[in-house]
Each structure stands twice: as structure tokens, then as C-alpha cells.
Amino acid sequence: MAEGENEVRWDGLCSRDSSTRETALEHIRQIVLRKTEYLCSVKETPYRPSEGLSNAVSLDGLNKLLAHLLMLSKRCPFKDVREKSEFILKSVQELGIRIPRPLGHGPSRFIPEQEILQVGSEDAQMHALFADSFAALGRLDNITLVMVFHPQYLESFLKTQHYLLQMDGPLPLHYRHYIGIMAAARHQCSYLVNLHVNDFLHVGGDPKWLNGLENAPQKLQNLGELNKVLAHRPWLITKEHIEGLLKAEEHSWSLAELVHAVVLLTHYHSLASFTFGCGISPEIHCDGGHTFRSPSVSNYCICDIANGNHNVDEMQVNSAGNVSVSDSFFEVEALMEKMKQLQECRDEEEASQEEMASRFEIEKRESMFVFSSDDEEVTPARDVSRHFEDTSYGYKDFSRHGMHVPTFRVQDYCWEDHGYSLVNRLYPDVGQLIDEKFHIAYNLTYNTMAMHKDVDTSMLRRAIWNYIHCMFGIRYDDYDYGEINQLLDRSFKVYIKTVVCTPEKVTKRMYDSFWRQFKHSEKVHVNLLLIEARMQAELLYALRAITRYMT
């Protein structure tokens, strides 16, 4: 009776056709009740040691099904599925079996649940977006529910991710999810690792590969070095890295495969930044997202403790670190005044090229000394660290220890003129999708700043984007880097650098300490800028190396 969860087909629940969903739900109900009745009968029979293990496996299998149903009852965009899932859970509970309950408070540990759109209360346009996402992935994940603050961006993001993972492309489906696992693991992002382990198995991936990178094919193992350098020090990528992958005899990558892999790696490194930057909670049906225990004081996620996000931390911040409303109001006013002054200076005089170059070097040097007081090593858990090699390798500023990395000048190699066409040539349509996503994130505005309306925020958005590229050694000749210090205060720079370079170290304290008067939707908007600027920076270094190899 120790049947696995594999006998249950969840695919029917993703259908737009209600009768298909009804048939699938009835099938699931019968399997769950059969397992429940079996376990109830076992409880009433005398204990036989030989059956103990089998019964434990049966209970574990049932618990996984119940956790999945709990997720559907809270997160499925189709009302019939939500209601029927809840009905099945109640039926199981009435038979005397303990059912799970959600752990935590909504999709983000940083954003109050009541400020996030509740599934079931969305409008028709949003419902269509949710239904598309659910149909593609079989879930409506917490990342989607936080990104939904910005529907235009979310639509572009989901379209790109769907194309990368599920549409025709150079790499087989299981390779794509495995590369997602490798990339997310580099930042110890167990949230993304867990999701893609499930997806990898769902598309027929070999479970042995999940025991550690050394169990995966040599071809994927060879990608480990590029994954490592791209995630932590992309400015070190050379054409030799590319050559090593393309000329590995029977384990060689084709150029098209490599571009697909590079886009996936950069996508998941950036998505790890978003996951930590917005305090994304574990999915309801994954470890840390639900509990079968009764409520207790200590019910917060292990990752909360690791990231300094547990209750004690919050109480300390609230009692000692609170800033008065008038102080944070003044912060917004001061920022708007600086934007106005900078605009006036721009209109009056333009700095010389030498002065602009000098300001870039100053900002680049200063960015090395931005680090957080919480800056301590985070030891990766074994279930995540087995998916990558060289666990001690991490972010290091590019000018440390006498190393001099030449400035990457955008007029010599840029996304618009070089990267975009290379990606589109080797992996058709993806360049177009990524380009659209970059543009939406960069240009997204509602012309608001905290409580102010009709504000031109382009100067602020450009400062954030260019600061990130500056940290990666990338320079725009036409930008005055003196603006960055005027517009981005220290706590904001700490947050930006942590999210982009060492996202696993982000804490709720950091999130709370910048832009204190701004809305959560505006802080999510900042994170969209951070992840897209980071992805573009990584892509520029990788694609430039591929171009150098090809010429």
C-alpha cells in the first residue's frame, strides 16, 4: 500500500476546462481516501514490527499529497479546485488523520500578507495571468504573488521563463531544470532549489543526479566553473572558459546549447537575488511551508533564523531601530530636493569626459567599502551545497588584493548592439524576450515616490541601474557617477550590494532600513531593477567572452 505520489496526476487541474479539472479532482479524492482508510485500518490492528516501515512510508506519501492539496486550496486560481481541495482535506481530518496547515504569513516574510493580492480576489486580467502561470507550472508560486505588484513586468517575466524552461530550445527539459538547481544553489537558495528538484523529477530527470553534481553527466559538471565565476565574479570570465566547454570532445557543448545555459544561469542567479531581496517564503507544499504540528511559538522557518528574520530580530528592530514618521518623511523630501538640484546642475553645465571618468573610478572604489554590519559567512546546507563545487568561492570585490580588472566600457560592447543579436542568432526569440524584460524593468514608473504623485523618477532609476553595473566594473561614458552618491544613501547601498552580490545575507533589518516611507510595491520595484541590472551585467561578460572566442 506504500504507493508513491507519482500515481497522482495533477496535470488535469491545470486545464482551462472545468469538467477536466472535476474528473482529475475526483481521481485525486479517491486515491487520498483510499490511503487514508488504509492508514485508519492499520491504527486499529495489532502492531507488527515487520509492517512498521511500510506504514511509515504510506503515511509519508499521504502527507505529501495532503501538503499539495493544502497548496491548491490556498493558491490555485481556479475556485473549483480551491474549494474541492479544502473539502478533501476536511474529509481526511474527519477520518482522524492530521492534516497540514500553512506555516508563516503569506508569500513574503518582509511584506505584510494583507498588502499582497489574495488569490481569488484578482480582476479578470490578473486572473488570466494567474491561470497562464498555473497552467505552465502547476502552481502559483510566491515569487509570482509578490511580482504581481507590477503586472506588466510579471507578464514579461513569466513569458520569458516559460520559453526558457518549456518551449523548443537547444537543451532538453531535464537539463534546463538541473541548470536552474545549479545556479540557485550557488547562492544557497533552497527555495528555488526545492522547486526545480520537483520540476526536474516531473520531466523525467534521473534522481541520482540530485545526490550531488558529481553524479550528473560530465557535460553538466563542466558547467560548474562557469556557474561559479558568473555568479560571484563575472568580470573574470574569459574566452578560455568558453573554449573549454565547446572543445571537451564527447562532452562538448554546442554554441546554441551554451547560450541557452548561460541565459538560464544568469536568470536563476538573479532570481535568487529577488527571492532573498523580497524575503520570499517557502512554498506551502515544500519543506518549511507547512506543518502537521499544532501551532507553537517556534514555528518559523529555518531560513528565517539563518537570515536574521525571526521574531526576536523583528522585536529588537521595532523597539530600538524605529525611525519616527517625520524623520522618514524628511528622507523622501530630501531625496526629491536632490533630484531637483541635480537636474538644474545638468541643465546648467555638463562635466568633461575626464571628470566623468574620474567620478566613475571614485564610485567604483567606494562601492568596495560598502558592506553590512551583518556581513558574516552563511554556511550552505548540505542539501543545497551538493549541487555545486568549491563551496568556499564567493563574491570578492574586483579591485581587492592588488587585482586590477579593466573597466568594461559599454560603448565597446553593449547589450543593444552586441549581446542581443548574439543571443537571438543562437537561440531565436530569447534575445527579444530578454530585451523586452530589461526595458520594462528599466522604464517602469507610476510617476510616484512614497506619498508624492507626478514625479519623474528616471534619474533615480538610472542611478540604481548604473550603480549595480559600476559594482561590476561596467561604465557608461555619458553618465555622471557623481549623481549616485547624491541619490543613494548608505543603507540603500548596503541593501543593493547585498541583494546583488551576496543575496543569501539579506535580512529583514536591511529591507526595513532603506526608503522607510516608501510603499512595499516600490521596494519590490527596486528589486526588479536590481535583478535585471544584475542579469544584464552577467550576460555582458559571458556574451563578450563568447564573441571573443568566435572571432
Quote the cell numbers at residue 479: 553618465
Quote the cell numbers at residue 40: 485508519
Quote the cell numbers at residue 309: 528574520
- State CA 512 to chain mean position distance: 19
By C-alpha distance, which of 102, 36, 34, 42 is closest to 63? Answer: 36
Q: Using CA atoms, how far apart are residues 358 and 171, in angstroms rounded to an integer?
A: 44
Q: Using CA atoms, how far apart are residues 383 and 367, in angstroms rounded to an integer?
A: 33
Report phi then psi at 409, rounded to 5. -95, 125
189 catalytic, yes or no? yes
- Partners of 312 in beta bridges: none
Q: What is the DSSP string of 309-349?
A: -SHHHHHHHHHHS---HHHHHHHHHHHHHHHHHHHHHHHH-
Helix ranges (H only) for 279-417 are 302-306, 311-320, 325-348, 353-368, 382-385
Length of the chain: 551
Quote the cell numbers at residue 145: 504573488
Report phi then psi at 375, rounded to 5. -70, 90
Q: How far are the Cα atoms of 207, 384, 495 from residue 197, in angstroms, in the given order?
A: 9, 11, 29
User: How far separated are the first and last CA of the chain, in Å rounded?
Assistant: 61
- State CA 97 to chain mean position distance: 35
Q: Using CA atoms, how far apart are residues 221 and 324, in angstroms rounded to an integer?
A: 52
User: Residue with C-alpha cell 588584493?
Assistant: 401
Catalytic residue, chosen from 14, 40, 76, 189, is: 189
Q: How do beta strands 408-409 and 452-453 pair? A: unpaired
CB 510 within 8 A of CB 530: no
- State CA 398 to chain mean position distance: 24
The residues annotated as belonging to the active site are 189
